[in-house]
Structure 1
Amino acid sequence: MPPLYALVDCNNFYASCERVFAPQLAGRPIVVLSNNDGCVIARSAEAKAAGIPMGKPAFMCRELFTRHGVAVFSSNYALYGDMSARVMATLARFTPSLEVYSIDEAFLDLAGLPGGPEATARSLRETVVRWTGIPVSVGIGPTKTLAKLANRAAKKRPESGGVLDLAACPDPDAVLAATPVEDVWGIGRRHAAMLEGFGIRTALAFRELPRDFVKKRMTIQGLHTLLELRGQPCIDLEHAPPPARTLMSSRSFGQAVTTLDELAEAVAEYAARAAARLRSRGLVASGVEAYVQTYADKDGRPPYANAAFAAPRAATAHTGELITAARQALEMIFRPGHRYKKAGVILLGLEPVGRRQLSLLDASPEADARGGRLMAALDAVNAKWGKGALAPAACGIDKPWAMRQASRSPRYTTVWDELPVARAG
């Protein structure tokens, strides 16, 4: 049976997550800011209608925020990640053929499901909003690219009720004709500009191009996009993401850092976060890269940026060992007299823990087992009481360098002390 793809996309996801736990914000514009409360990275439909631009620095939008009564939130990634997991778990109840494409998007294969694709999509949409509070739109098509286009049309056509099946459209070509070529999944800015030069401005016009023309100028990936627009599936569902080769943890600082000790605290925290993610995926790392960036100096010196590599004695996911390696790398690149604005840690040489190559430098089996139990206990405490509830002393306590989040909402679903409280009467 040929596949029948649905793309489920959460509407204005970050803003919708905030609204789930603050229903009094219904109908009010909402924006979410980037790290350190810098720029607008998410907007509710009302904020878009108010003309608040994406990516604009928050301080330049204050007059707009005041005029339109905008609710402004700092990024709350713990909340967004958990709500995403709940949405994806709900979708998985409808079909095992599911690809989590991003934090707010998933592809499903609806082929063979009872009730028909549109009825299934409407049931799915109603279930997601009832169980999680997150509104979604669903686009259905014979290929993933067409499902993407259908989803875009579902959002732009209020009469669709949030669901659009291209096969049920009286004129599916009208959907392609209304889609600018730069909005087609798989066509980047460079190729869109090239196509514009040939007078190709819509998905429909692109679909009619000769195969040889597209393959010559856009390689096999461009040809796949062309064939998908013609209804020929070329891009399968990815039921499991490809294994990661690196894992990064970094942040811009809330204020400039000038000392090695404070910089080492930040790098230790990023290494600890990366180590926890490593263990959650059943992986170990054989190398650690630390990197730093500074502000331009007032005396005219250019910004300083550098990176260095260090290796633990053996591939590991142990937080302490990775922090030690990260500190070694940091000491190679630290330069006094600079104002550091960002640092990060990249774990390299990732492999499944069961495939780890043992060496003479490995700890004894007993010590390795003790370290594993210690990390399991650390992860269990943080899973129960919230990320960072228990952390190595190397990560510091006061953390003046920590990212600014002046308007972060509570982590309603992942931290016990921040759970919503219901009162009777």
Structure 2
Amino acid sequence: MSLIGLVDCNNFFASCERVFEPHLQNRPIVVLSNNDGCVIARSQEAKDLGIPMGEPYFKVKAMRHPDLVVRSSNYALYGDMSARVFNSLRHFTPEIEIYSIDECFINLDKFSHGDLKTYGMEIRQKILQWTGMPISLGIAPTKTLSKIAARFAKKGDGCEVLRSRADLHYGLANTPIGDVWGVGRRWARSLRADGIYTALDMTRAPDAWLRKKMGVVGLRTAQELRGISAHGIEQVTPDKQSIRVSRSFGQMLHSQDQLEAVIKTFSLRASEKLRRGHLVAQQLHIFLRTNRHREDQPQYRGELSAALPYPTSDSRIIQKTALACLKRTYRAGYHYKQAGVLLYGLTHEDHMEYSLFAQEAPDSAPLMQALDQINKRYGEGSINIGQCRTERSWYATRNHVSPRYTTSWQELPKVR
């Protein structure tokens, strides 16, 4: 029987904030979205205060709770802490599938004859010691069951093993159908109408009925709940299908010059992401949005797509195409709140296919590599394509952001 572990970082964003500020332990923490708009993450203490996900910041501020800590989202810190946790897990097993920024599956087949509970607790202790990150670990025969085990681990001592028939029966019987991985709200509502209220009920449903009602995806979910693996560990991360760089502005913009500075910056950032993944793009899409919540102002939603002259990750080509799209999309007389650049039609740079009549792509790789290395060494925006404004008053509001402790030399933690 295969064994899969689901590692889930507890209250990940809030826990990242605590790693370098231990005085925040046991204090309620909320992390805000772009522009410090609403709550996107909470510590357990904040959940206990009754602060819901998506709560607008002005309502949280009105609580005036003396111990409440508010942080703007710090994705540079969160991304690096995520990589540290996952790299540390490779000391225990080389087979890891990264599922999200705070979750991954690990293959534990080689440890099936040992004391899994003890081994799981050892993994938790080592990850906490090496990275400062508290994790929960659910161990079971399949991915879907390991997700259920991880739910129980969070409520218990941090590690749950669902392997014996009795443990599996208990876990399935006490998992509402809406909490099963792969069953969304719509399917949960429909299944409850048919008398399926728990994961255990789903395991007992006839295969033919499940396939007719939910298709092959529903049937595979039921098989996973029965302990039959339908999804193995995928160690090779598939190439991205698209890359998007967008932002809501800290203040509304109205002139074409201001929006050109935005689109130039977004084009450069999207190009860097392409090259980081060794990808090239064939299509580009830009969009502009006014503030739909300002009913006192005229509304406009503009967007346009364009084909790139050839598959490329060259910042100059991407920026030129994006600015041409902006010129056709921009409308005067509006106050713009959001814009974005989307690259799609992505392929790996080693698998590029050119049209017979396509323009031949120049070898821009050395130049782009030099640009990336300079910006990596001296900081984002140290060198740009063309004339990019360094003044970015349109950047999102982040009044409560913590330092980038692990990714910026200027923001390293200081020992006094």
Give TM-score scaled by structure 2 length: 0.94
Structure 1 unmatched ranges of 5 or more: none
**Could you tell me how far 1:107 is from its partner in structure 2?**
0.3
Q: 2:41 matched to 1:42?
A: yes
Residue 43 to residue 95, structure 1, CA distance change in 2 (3 Å):
same
Q: 2:376 matched to 1:383?
A: yes
Q: 2:171 matched to 1:175?
A: yes
**Could you tell me how far 1:31 is from its partner in structure 2?**
0.6
Distance 2:358 2:56 in 1: 53
Is this contact kept in 1: 2:245–2:341, CA < 8 A? Answer: yes
How many equivalent residue pairs?
A: 413
The percentage of aligned residue pairs carrying the same residue is 44
**Could you tell me how far 1:175 is from its partner in structure 2?**
1.9
Residue 223 to residue 337, structure 1, CA distance change in 2 (3 Å):
same
Name the counterpart of 2:187: 191
**Could you tell me how far 1:318 is from its partner in structure 2?**
1.5
Secondary structure of residue in 2 paired with 1:337: coil
Is this contact kept in 1: 2:289–2:302, CA < 8 A? Answer: yes
Name the counterpart of 1:314: 310
> Which of 226, 229, 248 matches 1:230?
226
Residue 220 to residue 38, structure 1, CA distance change in 2 (3 Å):
same
> Which of 99, 102, 118 matches 2:100?
102
Secondary structure of residue in 2 paired with 1:167: coil
Name the counterpart of 2:65: 67
Name the counterpart of 1:4: 3
Distance 1:50 1:361 in 2: 61
Is this contact kept in 2: 1:74–1:406, CA < 8 A? Answer: yes
Is this contact kept in 2: 1:297–1:303, CA < 8 A? Answer: no
Residue 208 to residue 360, structure 1, CA distance change in 2 (3 Å):
closer
**Could you tell me how far 1:224 is from its partner in structure 2?**
0.7
Name the counterpart of 1:276: 272
Name the counterpart of 2:120: 121
Amino acid at match of 1:404: T
The runs of 4+ residues in structure 1 deviating greater than 4 Å are: 296-302
Distance 2:267 2:321 in 1: 9
Distance 2:177 2:249 in 1: 38
**Could you tell me how far 1:20 is from its partner in structure 2?**
0.3
> Which of 75, 85, 89 matches 1:91?
89
Secondary structure of residue in 2 paired with 1:286: strand
Name the counterpart of 1:286: 282
Pairs within 5 Å for 1:198-237:
198-237=194-233
Secondary structure of residue in 2 paired with 1:315: strand
Q: 2:14 matched to 1:18?
A: no
Name the counterpart of 2:51: 52
Name the counterpart of 2:134: 135
Structure 2 unmatched ranges of 5 or more: none
Is this contact kept in 2: 1:50–1:68, CA < 8 A? Answer: no
Distance 1:230 1:124 in 2: 27
Q: 2:415 matched to 1:419?
A: no
Kindly provide the CA deviation profile for residues 224-253 of structure 1, in whole angstroms up to 9, marking residues without a partner as x: 111111111111222122222221111111
Give TM-score scaled by structure 1 length: 0.92
Quick check: 115-124 or 282-291, which moved more?
A: 115-124
Is this contact kept in 1: 2:139–2:161, CA < 8 A? Answer: yes
Is this contact kept in 2: 1:139–1:148, CA < 8 A? Answer: yes
Distance 1:62 1:300 in 2: 26
Quick check: 267-276 or 3-12, which moved more?
A: 267-276
Distance 1:90 1:128 in 2: 7
